[in-house]
Amino acid sequence: MSQQPVVLSITRHDRDVAGLTYVYPVVSRRAGGVSIGINLNPNNACNWRCLYCQVPDLKRGGAPDIDLVLLEHELRAFIEYVMNGDFMATQVPPEARRLNDIALSGNGEPTSASCFHEVIQLIGRVMRDFDLLGKIKVVLITNGSLMNRTLVREGLANMRALGGEVWFKVDRGTAAQMSLINQVNAMPERVLRHLRQAALSCPTWVQTCMFKLDGLPPDDQEIEAYLALLRQARDGGVALGGVLLYGIARQSTQPEAARLSPCDADWMQMLADKIAELGLQVKLSI
């Protein structure tokens, strides 16, 4: 673990704060406590390049081969540190001193790891040994682009048995806006299909990042397209837990960083209200 304790906050998500390869702690706005992160992309590679991404030296690609033995060793050691060491007292603000979840996120798309399903099995084994089943969640933070892979869906089915939850990225509602914001060729129809596959495998929330680009928030047409996509999911029988709506709290490391700024609180609340009108639960983090 770190020799010099670093006090974490919602704006500090350094992946190397614990000095480990795969495991790192986060004080999460959306989780409302401490999340033990698992980074399956230590090579900083992702198949998307979102404008707001905070990963330095991000490159296109997938996860490298994962050392499952090392990952399990790190996860066990860090959970022991959190539960029985001085981590909470020395590195976490008082208001966040609770262990909320184990989250697969990190520096790229976690489902791009070929051993993703084995990682979920590993997490379940460690949770059972620490008597954490039913006490904390397992969260997958994903862009959802690889839900067509059988082994990914098998991993999600195992997550369901662990009380898991998927946070599925949907930032915009049209192919043009997805291309602009996420720098990927994603069609809304495919996003909906993958969203359905995720929700059938494991409880799923949509996660959406909204921000100003060149000083302007998404216009009315963009917002209506986004709401229409959520409406299509609802009307198509996709069972969603709700929407995690959030703004940017940390500086992007992408070339477009200077063009990005937070949306006003009133604007974010307006959008949250519109989502709620669709009959979906909304959790807003500004």
Q: Does the residue 122 lie in any domain? A: yes
Q: Does the residue 2 lie in any domain? A: no
Q: Structure pTM? A: 0.91
Q: Does the residue 214 lie in any domain? A: yes
- Classify the C-alpha dihedral 38-200-231-229 as positive or negative: positive
Residues 6 or more apart whose Cβ sits within 8 Å of residue 146: 47, 109, 111, 112, 152
The pLDDT of residue 33: 84
Query: Which tens digits make up the pLDDT trace of 241-263?
Result: 999 999 998 899 999 999 999 99
Specify whether the CB–CB gap between 241 and 277 falls below 8 A: no
Domain that holds residue 133: 23-284
Average model confidence (pLDDT) for the chain?
92
- pLDDT band at residue 6, thresholds of 50, 70 and 90? low
Q: Does the residue 94 lie in any domain? A: yes
Domain with 92 in it: what CATH number?
Answer: 3.20.20.70
> What is the domain count for the chain?
1
Q: Does the residue 42 lie in any domain? A: yes
- pLDDT band at residue 2, thresholds of 50, 70 and 90? very low
Residues 6 or more apart whose Cβ sits within 8 Å of residue 67: 21, 22
Q: Does the residue 30 lie in any domain? A: yes
Angstrom distances, CA of residue 127 to CA of 5, 27, 72, 102, 109: 25, 20, 11, 9, 23
Q: Does the residue 193 lie in any domain? A: yes
Compute the distance between CA of residue 203 and CA of residue 157 in angstroms, rounded to an integer.
10
The pLDDT of residue 93: 85
Q: Does the residue 1 lie in any domain? A: no
Least confident of 21-30, 142-151, 193-202, 257-266: 21-30
